[in-house]
Chain A
Amino acid sequence: MIPGVQIVGIVFAIVMMYFTFVYYKRKNYGLYSLIVWMALWLGILLIISIPETVYGLMQTLQIERTADFIVMSGFTFFLIIIFYMYNIIKRVNTKMEELVRKLSFQEQEKKKK
């Protein structure tokens, strides 16, 4: 019998796949993003429904429980995402600053004419 936590995990992955597809259809992002996120949710779905698939990797990493493996993988994934977001925000900030400055110069030039 499938334990409750597995059911929750499976439902979570399916719901996330649904939202990923809906946002793709709404053109929030392109095909590349759809494939990356779908691969992630499918990976989670696979690990939760058939934990045996990662036993080999868990043994190599000396992790005993599948739950620990999921938590650790999730944490690593979040750190990567935070780092990625930090870089994006920095870049957007710089671009916004340059844009705002450029606009203020242009506005002044218009007034002069």
Chain B
Amino acid sequence: MKTHIIIPGLNEEKHISSVIAKVKKEGFENIIFVDDGSTDKSSLLAEKAGATVLKHVVNLGKGAAVKTGCDYCCELGADVLVLLDADGQHKPEEIKKLISKLKGKDIVFGYRPLNKNMPPIMRFGNWYINTASSLINGINLRDTQSGFRCFTASAYKKIRWTSNDYSMESEMISNVAKHKLKYAEVPITTIYNDNFKGTTVMDGVKIFLNIIKFKMFTK
């Protein structure tokens, strides 16, 4: 089974080397770093660390970056695609845990158990987005916004999203529901390195509106 690890990132020179090193330590060789228009040394460091780098000449957003990585891996003949954040908030040591759950399933979602480490605003945001998603999509997931996921290449063809931003995670879930794909959830450890990065309150409002949009208008 050919597994590819896709790491999208924007200006992640602080963490990218260690993230890639940890992924390699876990025995994964096919590591794709999608540099979404970084202005720092992210690409250079990722390449030095041993990843294949796909560089966007301009910033398009996380959704577009992940799509670039997935499309590229599918062209290379990947069987399993693993998504991991570049800011070091996910533990590469848990990749195997996700992959082992993929047996007989199409997609595995990592979920962040609610704990004190999660900033309060994020805890509230996650709660309301998860509730809205489960009511609208009919899929009861504990964490709809976690970026730590893995899926088969055949599932990717069905869930390929149109969003270029953080809404991709919600659109992916909407597509999983529409295609009645088999899914599983795995608890993951999350390290919050930066409270000001990632999804903002406004992103949260946008995601909520998009959940409704995806339900109603996405084929």
Contacts and interface: CB of A to CB of B under 8 A. Distances in A.
B72 A100 contact: no
Interface in A82-113: 93, 96-97, 100-101, 103-105, 107-108
B64 A100 contact: yes
B32 to A, nearest CB: 9
Given A100-B60, A100-B64, A105 B54 contact: yes
B54 A104 contact: yes
Interface residues of A, number: 10
B1 interface: no
Given A97-B64, A97-B164, A103 B72 contact: no
A101 B64 contact: yes
A104 B55 contact: yes
Q: What DSSP secondary structure best describes chain A's contact surface?
A: helix
Interface in B48-78: 52-58, 60, 64, 67-68, 71-72, 75
Contacts, number: 36
B217 to A, nearest CB: 14
Given A97-B164, A101-B64, A101-B67, A108 B57 contact: no
Contacts of A107: 54-55
B8 to A, nearest CB: 12
A82 B184 CA distance: 44
A23 B192 CA distance: 53
A108 B56 contact: no
A106 to B, nearest CB: 10
Contacts of A97: 60, 64, 164
B34 interface: yes
A62 B126 CA distance: 53
Contacts of A104: 34, 54-57, 68, 72
Interface of B: 34, 52-58, 60, 64, 67-68, 71-72, 75, 164
29 contacts: A93-B164, A96-B58, A96-B60, A97-B60, A97-B64, A97-B164, A100-B56, A100-B58, A100-B60, A100-B64, A101-B56, A101-B67, A101-B68, A101-B71, A103-B57, A104-B34, A104-B54, A104-B55, A104-B56, A104-B57, A104-B68, A104-B72, A105-B54, A105-B72, A105-B75, A107-B54, A107-B55, A108-B53, A108-B72
Interface pairs A-B: 5 shortest CB-CB? A104-B54, A101-B68, A100-B56, A104-B55, A97-B64
